[in-house]
């Protein structure tokens, strides 16, 4: 990868993380799960570590939190408020944790200190950080973390939090104390708040963290006062020298003696032993759902303050501590039904409808089962008790069935069965028809995901199919973008591809209307009529695509640009392509059996054939070239059967042939004896293949009136010796579109490749040709200018 593309990738991640940060810290409304956020964050960290010279100084990995909201006075932190580095321990299906990242942390600490220290382990509270400043024992100021340097002054609100003392409980207070801790809402208070919100018609909070953040940052302290917030201190940032303590544990004791809440000691541990520490973490993961407050991990800190100081800090986090995050939380509930959802690309996802259950801070009613294989593997059935997981999450999932709780015996005939429940306890099978459009649901060998084969016929997939159809590398309809297509589908104005070409100005102006309600569009300067006219002009200009682009635009599964080109190159006409039998397709280069089956399946559907007819009827005329079609050339030769192997024999077919004692080399190189062909034909399946090939040939007859005509046409056709079979590389700026020159070369039987090698016959160099030209010269490959190649093509 080039620096440029890595930089682009990094910038995209930065952009994404900045959006997530804003949603999470400033708006209290995250759109993705913490797990997803953490993944993007780590990806960026990795790229930055591998390419330090590309690192942006503004990277989110170098900063803490979000901006302070301007409606509060800002507070500059005398000691920056940092974040923590994370460690994750993936769990396997047997519930065994992999603590490699924790061991790596311990290793880093050991090499920093020269020995293994004692650690202090405490909960990682899932709330938001708060700084409290006491002067002479009196609470003077409370501030949020903000971006770590500057936070929001929330003193008035914090004074309403009952567990935070306004005066330290000591006759001998320090002159200055700054204590750091977490503000949070207990689960019971969160539920009560959401009930109240519901009763008063207010918006429900997504989880206790959001509720705590939203409640603390109220402009009206009276609102905060009603919200039952809590606080736990977890460190001292400033304190008079005389009060200094030797360890983190002693600091917490001191704060507790002054009346400041500290982490409950039954959730804490002091230990030198990483194995013991990890065991404690695993116990806490089990205890977690029963705690009165949410925690999202454990924090492991080097206990001795002097050792903490030796280890110090990296940009945004201390080296002496780590947040050991928990895997996503799980909870049991009942499966009421299993439905399927159809995605935008046709993917079929089974979804469990659940008795509502609280997990990861919210109530879950649906959970994904991913795909049919997963349902089978987990054996999830309607009526089962299942464990549901949510990673603070957007999409909850079913983790496993609690088999002990399966309420009835699996054996039919057991006493507990009533006819109604018996039906329920069958193994789950995916429906065979799409619930949206009624098309077949198909699954390819080796694929996990089943799909609705409806394509454009399926409302769920229509927008996606149209976006592909109109895209730059397909029909290239200028002016018709994603937003317009989505509106066309939403307003139910387009059902099939041909409908695009039936649009008129009044219809398109309806879209414009929808568009203008939204202030974020760019096409606002144009008048509605001009805008609609542009789209119609774009559609009109797209009516004579190259055949390959047209085939590609149909969105046949597995038919990318390359395969579409092969089809156009070998068959030359749409009429042939839409009737080609699968075995013959599978003989072509780059087309294997899966792709051939997919093409066959597509054209076998009456709906798709109708779509094609309708497209032709509205005036779409793909640029065909039957005379140049390579297959036609093969068919034109007298003994066409012997040429089939020239096209290609797949490895699988070769195997089958060698099993029948026919040498593949013989098939490939020499004209095959009649005896060998007879032998091959003996086999029934080969007879079927031959029958289909013959049917196809019959079709060629009707296409060109007779095979003799076809032969004659091809025989008359001067083969462009200069181009056929040769490999070209195009580079630099040409006056004709590069794709166009490529299409001409390919139509004349040439190959166009992206890189120069010894096998390259010609490099066609335009203006400002760079490294490819240099390489051609170094390798002694012939170099042509544009004029020369046009002359060779007969277009000069």
Ligand X SMILES: NC(=O)c1ccc[n+]([C@@H]2O[C@H](COP(=O)([O-])OP(=O)(O)OC[C@H]3O[C@@H](n4cnc5c(N)ncnc54)[C@H](O)[C@@H]3O)[C@@H](O)[C@H]2O)c1
User: Which one, 189 or 296, has the nearer CB to ligand X?
Assistant: 296
The stretch near ligand X (CB under 6 A) out of 117-125, 247-255, 513-521, 568-576 is: 117-125
Q: Which stretch binds Zn ion (CB under 5 A): 174-182, 328-336, 427-435, 578-586?
A: 427-435
Q: Mapping DSSP to helix (H, G, I), strand (E, B) and coil, where does residue 129 land? A: strand
Q: Tell me the CB-side half-sphere exposure of residue 337, using CA atoms within 13 A.
A: 5
Q: Interface with ligand X by CB under 6 A: which range of 118-126, 479-487, 510-518, 591-599?
A: 118-126
The answer to whether 304 touches 67, Cβ cutoff 8 Å, is no
Phi-psi map region of 335: left, alpha, beta (phi>0 left; psi -120 to 50 alpha):
beta
State which of positions 695-754 bind ligand X (CB under 6 A).
none
Q: How far is the CA of 785 from the CAs of 99, 113, 411, 768, in angstroms?
A: 62, 67, 78, 12
In the complex, what is the shortest distance from the CB of residue 61 to ligand X, in angstroms, rounded to a whole number? 11
Q: Which of 436, 456, 568, 730 binds Zn ion (CB under 5 A)?
A: 436
Is 580 a binding residue for Zn ion by CB under 5 A? The answer is no
Distance from C-alpha of 755 to C-alpha of 589, rounded to nearest angstrom: 20
- Choosing from 105, 234, 280, 603, the residue that interacts with ligand X (CB under 6 A) is 234
Nearest CA to 213 out of 193, 238, 234 is that of 193
**Segment near ligand X (CB under 6 A); pick from 23-31, 72-80, 592-600, 623-631:** 23-31
Decide: is 442 part of the binding site for Zn ion (CB under 5 A).
no
> Considering the rule CB under 6 A, would residue 150 count as an interface residue with ligand X?
no
Q: Which residue has 């579109």 as its token pair?
A: 737
The single residue among 14, 129, 460, 644 that binds ligand X, judged by CB under 6 A, is: 129
Angle ∠(56,60,61) on CA atoms, nearest 5: 85
Contacts of 502 (CB under 8 A, 6+ apart): 618
Exposure letters 117-146 (e unless 16+ CB within 10 A, then b):
bebbbbbbbbbbbbbbbbeebebeebbbbb
Number of residues that bind Zn ion (CB under 5 A): 7
Distance between CA atoms of 700 and 694, rounded to whole angstroms?
Answer: 10
Annotated binding residue 434: yes
Which of 573, 597, 590 is closest to 648 using CA atoms? 590
217 interface partner picked from ligand X, Zn ion, none, CB below 5 to 8 A per type: none
Name which position in 30, 454, 455, 555 contacts Zn ion (CB under 5 A): 454
Whether 384 has a binding-site annotation, put simply, is no
Check: CB of residue 564 under 8 Å from CB of residue 549: yes
Q: How many CA atoms lie within 13 A of 685 on its CB side?
A: 5
Give the residue, chosen from 10, 14, 16, 24, that forms a contact with ligand X under the rule CB under 6 A: 24
Q: Which stretch binds ligand X (CB under 6 A): 17-25, 452-460, 627-635, 754-762?
A: 17-25
Closest distance to ligand X from the beta carbon of 364 (Å): 17
Q: Which of helix, strand or coil describes residue 533? A: helix
Nearer to ligand X, 232 or 762 (CB): 232
* DSSP structural state of residue 137: T
Give the pair of three-digit tokens for residue 65: 């939190």
Instruction: Decide which of ligand X, Zn ion, none touches 696; Cβ closer than 5 to 8 Å per partner kind.
Output: none
Residue 269 interacts with which of Zn ion, ligand X, none, CB < 5 to 8 Å by class: none
Q: Binding to Zn ion by residue 268, rule CB under 5 A?
A: no
Choose the contact partner of 23 out of Zn ion, ligand X, none; CB within 5 to 8 A by kind. Answer: ligand X
Binding partner of residue 581 among ligand X, Zn ion, none, CB under 5 to 8 Å per kind? none
Structure tokens at 206: 């997504």
Select from 462, 524, 468 the least CA-distant residue to 488. Answer: 462
37 is annotated as contributing to ligand binding: yes
CB of 435 to Zn ion, least distance (A): 8
278-317 residues in contact with ligand X (CB under 6 A) are 299
Asked if residue 348 binds Zn ion (CB under 5 A), the reply is no
- Residues annotated catalytic, as ranges: 124
Find out whether 510 is annotated in a ligand binding site.
no
For residue 86, the cross-strand partners are 323
**Helix or strand holding residue 534 (H, E):** helix 528-541
Position among 16, 20, 330, 565 found at the interface with ligand X (CB under 6 A) = 20
351, 112 Cβ separation under 8 angstroms? no
The two beta strands, 727-731 and 762-765, are: parallel
231 binds ligand X (CB under 6 A): no
Position 750 contacts Zn ion (CB under 5 A): no
Q: Does 32 engage in binding with ligand X (CB under 6 A)?
A: yes
CB-nearer residue toward ligand X: 23 or 307: 23
290 is in an annotated binding site: no
Looking only at residues 319 through 358 of this chain, which bind ligand X when binding is defined by CB under 6 A? 323
The size of the interface with ligand X (CB under 6 A), counted in residues, is: 24
Between the alpha carbon of residue 21 and those of residues 11, 68, 149, 208, 300, the distances in Å are 15, 12, 16, 18, 25
Query: Closest CB to ligand X among 299 and 508?
Result: 299
CA distance 429 to 513: 45
**Roughly what angle, to the nearest 10 degrees, separates helices 187-199 and 208-216?**
70
Helices (H), 360-481: 372-378, 419-424, 459-470
First-residue to last-residue Cα distance in the chain: 38
Name which position in 21, 144, 464, 563 contacts ligand X (CB under 6 A). 21
Question: What, of ligand X, Zn ion, none, does residue 378 touch, CB below 5 to 8 Å by kind?
Answer: none
Question: In this structure, what token pair is assigned to residue 190?
Answer: 């969160």
Smallest distance from ligand X to CB 29, Å: 9
List residues near Zn ion by CB under 5 A.
434, 436-437, 439, 452, 454, 458
List residues near ligand X by CB under 6 A.
20-21, 23-24, 30, 32-34, 37-38, 64-65, 83-84, 86, 122, 124-125, 129, 145, 182, 234, 299, 323
The annotated binding site for NAD(+) is made up of 34-38, 83-84, 122, 145, 182, 301, 325
The annotated binding site for Zn(2+) is made up of 434, 437, 458
The annotated binding site is made up of 34-38, 83-84, 122, 145, 182, 301, 325, 434, 437, 458
């Amino acid at each position: 990868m080039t620096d440029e593309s890595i930089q682009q990738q990094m910038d995209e991640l930065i952009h994404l993380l900045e959006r997530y940060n804003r949603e999470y810290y400033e708006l209290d409304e995250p759109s993705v799960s913490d797990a997803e956020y953490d993944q993007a964050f780590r990806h960026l960290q990795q790229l930055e570590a591998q390419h330090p010279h590309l690192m942006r100084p503004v990277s989110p990995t170098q900063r803490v939190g979000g901006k302070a909201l301007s409606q509060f006075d800002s507070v500059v932190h005398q000691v920056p408020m940092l974040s923590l580095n994370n460690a994750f321990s993936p769990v396997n299906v047997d519930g065994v944790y992999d603590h490699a990242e924790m061991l790596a942390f311990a290793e880093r600490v050991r090499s920093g200190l020269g020995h293994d220290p004692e650690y202090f382990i405490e909960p990682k509270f899932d709330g938001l950080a708060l700084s409290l400043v006491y002067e002479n024992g009196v609470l003077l100021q409370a501030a949020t973390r903000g971006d770590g340097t500057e936070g929001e002054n929330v003193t008035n609100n914090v004074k309403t939090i009952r567990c935070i003392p306004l005066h330290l409980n000591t006759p001998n207070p320090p002159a200055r104390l700054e204590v750091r801790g977490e503000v949070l809402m207990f689960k019971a208070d969160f539920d009560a708040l959401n009930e109240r919100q519901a009763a008063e018609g207010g918006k429900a909070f997504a989880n206790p963290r959001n509720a705590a953040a939203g409640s603390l940052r109220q402009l009206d302290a009276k609102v905060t006062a009603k919200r039952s917030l809590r606080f736990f201190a977890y460190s001292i940032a400033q304190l008079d020298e005389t009060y200094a303590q030797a360890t983190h544990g002693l600091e917490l004791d001191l704060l507790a003696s002054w009346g400041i809440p500290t982490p409950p000691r039954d959730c804490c541990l002091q230990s030198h032993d990483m194995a013991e520490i990890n065991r404690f973490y695993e116990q806490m993961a089990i205890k977690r759902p029963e705690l009165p407050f949410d925690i999202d991990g454990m924090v492991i800190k080097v206990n001795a303050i002097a050792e903490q100081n030796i280890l110090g800090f990296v940009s945004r986090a201390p080296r002496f501590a780590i947040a050991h995050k928990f895997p996503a939380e799980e909870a049991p509930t009942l499966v009421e039904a299993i439905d399927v959802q159809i995605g935008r690309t046709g993917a079929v996802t089974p979804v469990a409808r659940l008795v509502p259950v609280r997990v990861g801070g919210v109530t879950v009613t649906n959970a994904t089962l991913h795909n049919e294989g997963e349902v089978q593997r987990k054996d999830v059935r309607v009526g089962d008790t299942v464990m549901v997981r949510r990673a603070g999450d957007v999409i909850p999932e079913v983790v496993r069935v609690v088999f002990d709780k399966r309420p009835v015996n699996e054996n039919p005939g057991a006493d507990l069965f009533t006819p109604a429940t018996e039906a329920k306890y069958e193994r789950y099978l995916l429906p065979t028809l799409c619930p949206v459009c009624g098309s077949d649901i198909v699954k390819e060998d080796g694929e996990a995901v089943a799909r609705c084969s409806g394509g454009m016929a399926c409302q769920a997939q229509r927008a996606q199919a149209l976006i592909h159809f109109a895209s730059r590398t397909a029909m290239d309809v200028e002016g018709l973008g994603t937003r317009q297509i989505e509106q066309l589908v939403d307003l139910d104005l387009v059902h099939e591809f041909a409908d695009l070409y039936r649009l008129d100005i009044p219809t398109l102006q309806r879209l414009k209307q929808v568009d203008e309600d939204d202030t974020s569009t760019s096409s606002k300067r144009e008048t509605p009529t001009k805008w609609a006219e542009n789209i119609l002009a774009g559609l009109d200009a797209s009516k004579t695509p190259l055949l390959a682009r047209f085939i590609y635009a149909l969105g046949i599964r597995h038919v990318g640009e390359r395969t579409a080109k092969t089809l156009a190159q070998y068959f030359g006409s749409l009429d042939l392509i839409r009737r080609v039998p699968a075995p013959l397709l599978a003989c072509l280069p780059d087309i294997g059996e899966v792709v051939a089956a997919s093409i066959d399946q597509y054209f076998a559907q009456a709906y798709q054939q109708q779509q094609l007819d309708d497209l032709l009827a509205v005036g779409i005329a793909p640029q065909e070239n039957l005379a140049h079609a390579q297959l036609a050339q093969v068919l034109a030769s007298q003994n066409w059967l012997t040429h089939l192997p020239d096209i290609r024999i797949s490895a699988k077919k070769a195997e089958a042939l060698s099993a029948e004692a026919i040498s593949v080399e013989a098939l490939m190189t020499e004209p095959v004896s009649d005896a060998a062909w007879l032998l091959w034909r003996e086999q029934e399946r080969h007879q079927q293949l031959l029958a289909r090939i013959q049917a196809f040939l019959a079709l060629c007859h009707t296409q060109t009136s007779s095979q003799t005509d076809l032969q004659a046409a091809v025989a008359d056709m001067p083969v462009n010796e200069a181009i056929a079979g040769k490999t070209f590389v195009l580079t630099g700026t040409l006056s004709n579109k590069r794709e166009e020159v490529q299409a001409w070369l390919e139509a004349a039987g040439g190959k166009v490749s992206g890189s120069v090698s010894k096998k390259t016959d010609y490099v066609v160099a335009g203006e400002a040709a760079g490294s490819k030209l240099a390489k051609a010269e170094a390798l002694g490959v012939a170099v042509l200018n544009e004029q020369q190649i046009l002359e060779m093509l007969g277009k000069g």
